[in-house]
Structure 1
Amino acid sequence: MVDSQQSKTTFFKNPDHGECLKYCLLAKLACLIVQVASINILPTHNADAFVPPNFLQNQTTINGIVNTTLVGFSRWDSLHFLHIAKRGYSHESQIAFFPLYPAVVRALKYALFPWAESSHDGLFIIAGVIANLFLFSASSILLYELTHIMFRNKSMALESVKYFCFNPASIFMTACYSESLFQFLTLSGLLAIEFGRLSVASTFLALSSLTRANGIISLGFVAYWHVTTISILSARVLRSARLVEQFGIFLTHALMILIPFIMFQSYSYYILCIDPNLPDRLQFCSTALSIPYTFIQRKYWSIGFLKYYQLKQIPNFILALPMMLICSWIVMKYFQANGKQFFKLILNFQSRRRGPFLWNNGHCLPFIVHLAFLTFVSIFYMHVQVITRFVLSSTPVVYWAIASAPNSKKYYFKVYSALYFVLGTILHSAFYPWT
């Protein structure tokens, strides 16, 4: 835990924050230029994907400008988010897309352009891109602060931000996807935990669980903090009433994080099973303890254990391979470096050191466990190519690992990032299957 008052004093006076914003703006400008070139040079691929009716078809000046400058940021999942922002949940499959990012886009659109009719699809795209620019920039500063607190190393903090700004999933943090919002909320929650502000952290993480389903996994960080606190209290042989009080506080924070997820699943259940306008009642509705999100994922995207392991998906496994290898390397290297004191790190909070790099920093253990879980789920349950944006928007560990790595490994990561930054932006913007 850090001194929050001292951190507040330096937070707004740190010249490195200007460097963070500079790298962010350079990265976003590069992404915009590549995207504009892609949509104006390459033919748009006829993708088998959802496209809202009459999307950008109204002949308005704004839609015309967006069609030649920003339309590449409204492909694939972006179209679902933009449709929800404009019209709400009108398709069963869209229950897989959580509501906070569409709500942010909708609110920003009407705040910036209150005079405009809803027929201007281009304004929703503009609002989505502006929101992500702000959120991504704010996330770079949050990442800098969190890294500095974790490692007491300013140069590593700034280097981590550089890798973040030009990361291999950059197109998804610029386009109208929820990754930038999710990363902002997650980093805000993690930073609040380091300050010991658990109620603030739980609020941010609750909002993250309203942004993406994996937001509820971050409950583990709050649980870990409470477990270590209870462990310290137990070691001091304090009264049992104090321990019960601490456990009650944990349950409160856990409910704060879980309730938004539960509320959205309840709303989704109403849409699928209770709405009186439904033509048929789904078999899913008769199943006890069914979660609408998992049902929709199975029905429309065939999500499940090893279901993606098909010969036709080999290209997607190749696409995901670099991030799969990086995540596996990070987890194995950390446990190799800390294997002898692994159980001490788990059971004895006070024995952990804050080293200047990832491998010798005992406080990074919960981050490593979190990364291991994300990697396992990505490889065995999800569309495996999603692992790149899934991991890079959910944890800072990859950026810390590369900043802690020898120069030879940094070089390979830079090549990988540059290739995916450019190629991903080109192909995604032209509606090719880079998802």
Structure 2
Amino acid sequence: MSKLYRKSIIKTALFSRLLVIFLQYIFNHLITDHDAGVFLYPRDNVTESFMDKAVSHFFGGFLRWDAQYFMHIAKYGYTYENTVAFFPLFPLLGNSLAKCLSFIHFLSEDSLILLVFMIVNLLVFVQTALILFDLSRKFHSEKFSYYSAILFCWNPASVFFSSPYTECIFSCLTFWSMLNCIVLYEKYAYFRRRIEPQDLLYLLPIALGTITRSNGVLNLGFYLYILACMFLRIFIQIKGAFLFSIIKKFFLFLSFLMLIFLGMILCLSPFHAFQLFSYNLFCKDFTVNLPIQVETYAKENNFVLLGTYSKHNQSWCNSRLPMAYSYVQKHYWNVGLFSYYEFKQIPNFLLAAPILIIFIVNCRKYIKVNFPKNVIDIFNLDISPPRTHLIFENPHIYVFIIHGLILSIFCILFVHIQVSTRFLCSSSPLLYWFSAYYMMDDDKFCDMTDFKMFSTKKKYILSYYLTYFLVGIALFCNFLPWT
């Protein structure tokens, strides 16, 4: 049955992506683009070929909002200070693959990069759906896991998973990180095998996630949580004479401290390396030859160019621990505690309300049902019980609930609130688990043709998915407020 489910997930994922591309084309040419007055990466002053015009005609609707930044970084690198808000893995991947395809002379560099971004997202999206299926199976029934993956294929932030955005690759790395941590737990806590150096490769998705998006750092929490669960499980099982037991537990404690130290070094090094890279670019003076269009665009918009520190003397460069990301978010986008709480932003708060309500209400419900007698119970992870679709009766997904709740609260307090939908859709499996739970009856998925018989919750969830899937594409590809 698992093979049949996987085939169905692949087909659904591919079909949903092709539909997004088709609808993007329709809406992009049906609706006039809004003049949002936002960043547009500088283009070369060269005549476009017929094939370049075709690429722009069919896929130009994806080059909106932050996609412009990723195109700029992939083509020119980090030339402006505000670009360091966008982490390097995705644009570096686009740049590298486009260079490998540079033998295709009938396409310009811009067209190649755009097509590479789209193809990468298409392939990664399919793999992400399969990883979500495998992750869900660790805690839920196979059928529940299948429908969770199917719902992911039609998620409310779908347009961002096909556009030159990090949502697709980040969700892949996040779900992969979670799955790898569970696999590590199975190996060590259940089979008591020795720790081997190659097992540290399980941390690779976490490390890559930290140079994909800033909140990738939070994925390290899953590794630390799994270590705590493993430590407590093995610690309790140690038996023997008192002195022998004490010595064994002491060395066990030291080994886990070493694992924590190594894990943090491996996972956080890429993140800190990017911050150091940003410091060397924008906190020092040096000469660099940039394309004329890049320099002209910088002058027109008063952007800070790399290598011009003495001219601007940015405050973050003088901090004890220089962090370009936090400074750029605050300085250029006014990101901070309650900074987005303005009367004119009420429509954006309404836009983000559905996913925040789903997360907060259901996380609260889960905590209420599974409230632990003591904190230690949260670390009593057991993935061996019979797996069902009854998510609120599963006491072993606490780490996902806490993670999802932290992300939701962070969205409400700090970020531009309309980002919440794509932020949560790509950072947590909870939306798909909660949705699958409400769409199922007695371990069977509801009959999608019998809409009149749906409960209010089922109607709300289905309407939410379909509305945001369609309206999100229409808004995004015309520079309307869906960022």
TM range (shorter): over 0.9
Which residue matches 1:249? 259
What are the superposed Cα offsets for residues 181-206 of structure 1, whole Å, 9 maximum, x if unpaired?
Answer: 11111111111112117623311110
Which residue matches 2:465? 417
Tell me which amino acid in the other structure corresponds to 2:336.
G
Matches within 5 A, 1:186-225: 186-196=174-184, 199-225=200-226
Provide the C-alpha distance between the structure 2 equivalents of 1:350 and 1:111, rounded to a whole number of angstroms: 46
Provide the C-alpha distance between the structure 1 equivalents of 2:46 and 2:162, rounded to a whole number of angstroms: 23
Q: For the structure 1 residues 368 and 342, does the alpha-carbon distance in structure 2 shift closer, same or farther, using more than 3 Å as the test?
A: farther
Q: For the structure 1 residues 47 and 116, does the alpha-carbon distance in structure 2 shift closer, same or farther, using more than 3 Å as the test?
A: farther
Q: For the structure 1 residues 15 and 239, does the alpha-carbon distance in structure 2 shift closer, same or farther, using more than 3 Å as the test?
A: same
Give 3-state SS (helix, strand or coil) of 2:370's partner.
helix
Give 3-state SS (helix, strand or coil) of 1:309's partner.
coil
Tell me which amino acid in the other structure corresponds to 2:437.
S
Which residue matches 1:3? none
Give 3-state SS (helix, strand or coil) of 2:3's partner.
coil
What are the superposed Cα offsets for residues 243-265 of structure 1, whole Å, 9 maximum, x if unpaired?
Answer: 20121012101111111100001
Which residue matches 1:307? 339
Which residue matches 1:234? 235
**Are 1:323 and 2:355 an aligned pair?**
yes
**Are 1:293 and 2:293 an aligned pair?**
no
Q: Percent identity?
A: 30
Shift of 1:111: 2.8
Moved more, 396-405 or 226-235: 226-235
What are the superposed Cα offsets for residues 9-61 of structure 1, whole Å, 9 maximum, x if unpaired?
Answer: x9xx8232111111111211211111111122211211211111237974212
Shift of 1:289: 2.3
Q: For the structure 1 residues 143 and 56, does the alpha-carbon distance in structure 2 shift closer, same or farther, using more than 3 Å as the test?
A: farther
Shift of 1:174: 0.6
TM norm structure 2: 0.83
Shift of 1:284: 2.3
Which residue matches 2:404? 371
Which residue matches 2:196? none
Shift of 1:104: 1.2
The 8 Å contact of residues 225 and 379 in structure 2, kept in 1 or not, is answered as no
Shift of 1:234: 2.6
Matches within 5 A, 1:23-422: 23-54=12-43, 58-116=47-105, 119-151=108-140, 153-196=141-184, 199-235=200-236, 236=238, 237=245, 238-276=248-286, 277-278=307-308, 279-339=311-371, 341=373, 343=375, 345-349=377-381, 355-356=387-388, 357-405=390-438, 408=455, 409-422=457-470
Which residue matches 1:5? none
Which residue matches 1:6? none
Give 3-state SS (helix, strand or coil) of 1:405's partner.
helix
Give 3-state SS (helix, strand or coil) of 1:362's partner.
coil
Q: For the structure 1 residues 343 and 331, does the alpha-carbon distance in structure 2 shift closer, same or farther, using more than 3 Å as the test?
A: same
The structure with more radius of gyration: 2
The 8 Å contact of residues 93 and 300 in structure 1, kept in 2 or not, is answered as yes
Query: CA RMSD of the aligned region, Å?
Result: 2.1
Mark the runs of 5 or more structure 1 residues left unpaired by the alignment.
Answer: 1-9
Mark the runs of 5 or more structure 2 residues left unpaired by the alignment.
Answer: 188-198, 239-244, 287-306, 441-454
Provide the C-alpha distance between the structure 1 equivalents of 2:477 and 2:398, rounded to a whole number of angstroms: 38
Give 3-state SS (helix, strand or coil) of 2:79's partner.
coil
How many residues were matched structurally? 423
Provide the C-alpha distance between the structure 1 equivalents of 2:410 and 2:85, rounded to a whole number of angstroms: 17
Moved more, 298-307 or 283-292: 283-292
What are the superposed Cα offsets for residues 75-94 of structure 1, whole Å, 9 maximum, x if unpaired?
Answer: 11001001111110111100
TM norm structure 1: 0.92
Shift of 1:342: 6.3
Moved more, 229-238 or 127-136: 229-238
Give 3-state SS (helix, strand or coil) of 2:428's partner.
coil
Provide the C-alpha distance between the structure 2 equivalents of 1:402 and 1:213, rounded to a whole number of angstroms: 27
The 8 Å contact of residues 353 and 363 in structure 1, kept in 2 or not, is answered as no
Provide the C-alpha distance between the structure 1 equivalents of 2:44 and 2:385, rounded to a whole number of angstroms: 54
